[in-house]
Amino acid sequence: MDDTMPDIATLRRRIMADLPADAFRNVPSKALLFIPLGAIVLGAVWIAGSRDLPWYGLLALSVVLGQVYATSAFLAHEVLHGSVVKSRALADFLGYFGLYPFLVSPHLWRVWHVRAHHGNTNSSRDPDVIVNLDEYRETFLARIWTRFIPCSRQRIAGTFFFLYWFTLHGQNILWFNRHYKHWNFSDYGFRRFRASMDTLGYLLFWGGIWYILGTYNSLFIILIPMMIGNAILLAFIATEHTCLPRFPVGENHPLKNSVSARVPALVDKLNLNFSNHVEHHLFPTMNYSKTPLVRQWLRNNMSPHYLEPSLATCFRVLFSSPRVYCENDCLCYPDDLDGSKMKADLLRVQLSEIR
């Protein structure tokens, strides 16, 4: 166990020296998971279209599809990070099969997540970071979005947030990223036309399914599963960075800006170990099947710094704190600066209380 926090390059070297070489190789066989996932979706569409199921039967299909949509998105996330196949063109192609339920273009995902988020985690250039006071006051859209995200004063709106935010945020980034001065997507080679054509293709696909199944069945095959899928994705996405301090651009250390949630083994299996989030930010191209090795290493060697709260603890902290940064290490409500300030470092302590 080490009480000092090494810089990220040193930390990576130490982990790589202790783990087997094959832990850092891509795993092409994981691409085959798209086959059963796609078969389940096609089977559900066929059942809904050819059988007169009662509402509770359709709802059961919705629950299964919601998890399938989420698992598919997690698999696309792996593919586009390069942990499955080496070919960029093949990865982009496979990405469509994972991101279509949420209307997110693989090209947009590379820019938004792989480059902007991973390169600038919890800094002003991270598209997923919670806004600070200056951004809140300067950007109308930021003020609107902030009214719907989870915090101690928005428990109802914050709960519904989980049902739609991943899809909505993707559209916000696609169509309105130019309105956020800190997001310079041109640095990453973003092509809006390509991403918008991908989105149009998704809409045509889902429109065709809607036409085939009719409105009633489509609610259970398209809309409700999308909401369930959003909730599963956001259960991890909204809890693994949000309650930690913001950092200056260029200061990007996963032990400081990320947590790895503890979840039951079945949840990890269904969601491709996405809970291993510090591990993923340390080694973005490592296949999800190998990240538990890094998790064990961090437990053994970095426990004073490695945050591994239960997912329930993450939710408790999320819903008991403000959601705008008045300083990099301090959260607040913009209309109550004197009475609502809460140190983000205090939240970090709360996240470390339960291991």
Task: Count the Cβ atoms, other than its own, within 10 Å of residue 72.
Answer: 24
pLDDT at 355: 44
Task: Count the Cβ atoms, other than its own, within 10 Å of residue 330.
Answer: 19
pLDDT tens digits for 263-314? Answer: 999 999 999 999 999 999 999 999 999 999 999 999 999 988 999 999 999 9
Q: Is the pLDDT of residue 230 over 80?
A: yes
CA proximity to 320, closest of 336, 338, 344, 337: 344
Residue 230 in tokens = 């959003």
In this prediction the pTM is: 0.94
pLDDT tens digits for 117-167? Answer: 999 999 999 999 999 999 999 888 889 889 999 999 999 999 999 999 999
Give 331's strand partners. 325, 342
**Most distant pair of Cα atoms in the chain: their distance:** 62
Report d(CA 200, CA 197) in Å as an integer: 5
pLDDT at 188: 85
Report d(CA 269, CA 287) in Å as an integer: 13
Contact of 282 with 15, CB cutoff 8 Å? yes
pLDDT tens digits for 182-222? Answer: 777 888 889 999 999 999 999 999 999 999 999 999 999 99
Residue 211 in tokens = 């036409």
CA proximity to 232, closest of 181, 301, 163: 163
Task: Write phi, then psi, for 262 (nearest 5 degrees).
Answer: -95, 125
Contact of 157 with 147, CB cutoff 8 Å? yes
Polymer length of the chain: 355
Q: Which residue has the higher pLDDT, 355 or 291?
A: 291
